[in-house]
């Protein structure tokens, strides 16, 4: 098959990996965010602490990469403590 023979369909934003992004706020404590990240993503305390620090320092942090449905589930768990969370495609062109 040649490159010319390939058919490329429309972009499906539900396909491929997505990411969960958290945003800094002035409501939640650092420890609350770390616990929520460990609980929601299954990461260890060190990784969660780094991600919480990034959100605090830079305003946001990507905290989980997975298929869309898994990211939505993780986002809902994190959102339950009042944190602003977005799920978006891993790659935005």
Confidence band (pLDDT; 50, 70, 90) for 8?
low
Asked whether residue 47 is assigned to any structural domain, the reply reads: yes
The verdict on residue 44 lying in a domain is yes
Q: What is the pLDDT of residue 16?
A: 76
Residue 93 placed within a domain: no
Domain assignment present for residue 64? The answer is yes
- Whether 36 is covered by a domain: the verdict is yes
Q: How many distinct structural domains can be found in the chain?
A: 1
- Residues paired with residue 7 on neighbouring β-strands, in sequence order: none
Asked if pLDDT for residue 37 goes beyond 90, the answer is: yes
User: Does residue 41 lie within any of the structural domains?
Assistant: yes
Query: 18 with 68: CB under 8 angstroms?
Result: yes
Domain extent for 54:
26-83
- Is residue 20, in this structure, part of any structural domain at all? no
């Amino acid at each position: 098959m040649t490159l010319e023979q390939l058919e490329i369909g429309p972009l499906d934003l539900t396909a491929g990996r997505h990411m969960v992004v958290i945003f800094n706020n002035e409501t939640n404590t650092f420890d609350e965010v770390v616990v929520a990240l460990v609980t929601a993503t299954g990461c260890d305390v060190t990784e969660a602490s780094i991600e919480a620090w990034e959100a605090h320092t830079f305003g946001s942090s990507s905290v989980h990469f997975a298929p869309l449905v898994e990211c939505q589930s993780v986002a809902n768990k994190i959102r339950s403590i009042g944190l602003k969370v977005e799920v978006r495609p891993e790659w935005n062109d």
